[in-house]
Structure 1
Amino acid sequence: MSDHKENRETDAHSGTETTGHEWDGIKELDTPLPRWWLYTFYACIVIGIVYMVMMPAIPALPGMGADADNDHTRGISNNSERANVAMAMADLEASRAPGFERLRGASIDEIENDPDLLGFVRAAGDAAFGNNCSTCHGSGAQGFVGYPNLNDDVWLWGGSYDDIRTTIRFGIRGEHADTRFSQMPAFGRDGLLTRSQIGDVTDYILSLSGQTGPVDSIARGSDIFTSQCASCHMADGRGDRTQGAPDLTDQDWLYGGSRDQILATIYRGPYGVMPAWEDRLGDTTIDALAAYVYLLGGGEAAASRPTGQ
């Protein structure tokens, strides 16, 4: 190796020795790394060693001071991000406590007429919504197919502040003893109606919202609707909030409003579930969340709540 190094060629233009490697007539120069780069590299090594000594960094064998939570060395600083997060959450809760105390027992009118409380509710509710609800309802509460839009004034179980709070607290078709519950039969899957009958009642339902279809099919579907559907959706198709039965006349469809989508809904009997948040969120957080949803734009005054929709 030493003989090879002693016999290496020096580049005539740069005065730098070559490595002896050559490709297509191009010779590789043995240019040393810049000193600033070497110093930076050595400094990174030193910093890395210091960090491993100071902070939790490397897996530890038994007897090496492993952290019980993650089986890593604690480091001489005894720093724990778990503890840091817990402290930050405790500080956040403490800073929010006065606002939550003011919110406790407040009506929606009191919230709306108190600028400070309203600002707190919007901030706290937005945080709770983003952490717990946006996965299903979307970051803007716009909803998706099968997940309600919370910005409009279409409500299956009622849109007053108390109605929304009850829905959040107990959930829908969940495991809570007081959950809101209703179940649409799977008319096709369970053989309650033939596919032809489902097609007829689909055409009739579309006609309720002003859409046209075969006259004979609509007539047959009307009879089927009266015998199979009117007990929940009412004779006029406007639904019943006490049962969570949607209004079929407003062209607002949770599972899609095309003929194929409505037919599929009747055939399979959808069974959407919303969890109960009573055991996951505190009472005042639920209050803030309910007020936030109410204030998105579709909330209703309790006095104006219709008995059926």
Structure 2
Amino acid sequence: MSTDSNQSEGRIIPEGITVPFTDDYESLRNSVERRLQQVYGSGTYLSDFYIADTGSLAISIGNTFPKDVSDCRPNRERVIKYISLDDIAELSGERDGEFYYIELPSRSSVEQGFSDAQENLRNELDQAMARATYEKIATTPAVENQLNPIKQILRWTRLYHPVPFSEVRKAQDKKGDKTLQYVRTLEELGFIELRDGDLHPRRPLEKYDLGEVQGEDFNKKILGEVIEQGFDRLSRDLQLGILRHLPKFANGYYVAALEVNDPDLHLDIESIQENMIDWYGSSARYHKFELRDKLDFLVRNDILEKEGDIEDESELYFRSNKDVYEDMSATATL
């Protein structure tokens, strides 16, 4: 790699390292890990280490970052946990006589891998929260409003099937191919099928009888199922960012509770705000009035619980809803 390309990648580390050859797998693995920690920092570890039959090395590295997960009640010890992010960079090594030579990626590329892994973990936690609270999210007015076109397609398909897609598109009167995007997403999620220009219900939609489709409970149930199964697709591909709004506030609490494995962890508003900024960046900074409103909404909808003096924020704490915590702990990985 040339000097110019090194500088363009922000390289401030060597292009490679050497470690002594040994037949002992654990000894070699430990030697490689120690050398990489000297380069990338003490939080570096080997998330995968493989010696091929040819003698070459295939290495994946991970890194950890500290998180304060202390209970906020008085006279509690401070607790720091380290969150691990696997596979932030891939390395390879070749034997050269009595040594292995391992080519190193630039620090900037490793930092990018770390950032990408954080984003993947954040998305996983958002999805886990959505799965744990999907029916509650579906009944939020802002979410229900954004999902109204999807609700219409599902209801009309169940009531009038086979229903011409052209009629649905005409009824929604959306610009461009937005209605088709909704239909394709619902088709991929298994709720409907577009066949020969007509929409047909599939099993998740057929289970509702016509009377149920006309009722308010249908909206809650069917939109909840759509969110549960298609959270990532809806929020990313259809730009329905509102779906990530409530999980962001809820995970300001639950990430810490899961990391310390304590559903009775008590956090105050300030700690929840700090957690949100740590996970989602400065855009997750909210005025304390708005943050309190959001947390109170989560309490009213049985996503969080609170205790203490509601008039004195210094003595007000939030803790988990046991059912939500159990659902989260069953699907989220920290």
- Normalised to the residue count of structure 2, the TM-score between the two structures is 0.24
> Which structure has the larger Rg over C-alpha atoms?
1
Structure with the larger RCO, 1 or 2 (CA within 8 Å, 6+ apart): 1
1 or 2, which has the higher helix percentage?
2
1 or 2, which has the higher strand percentage?
2
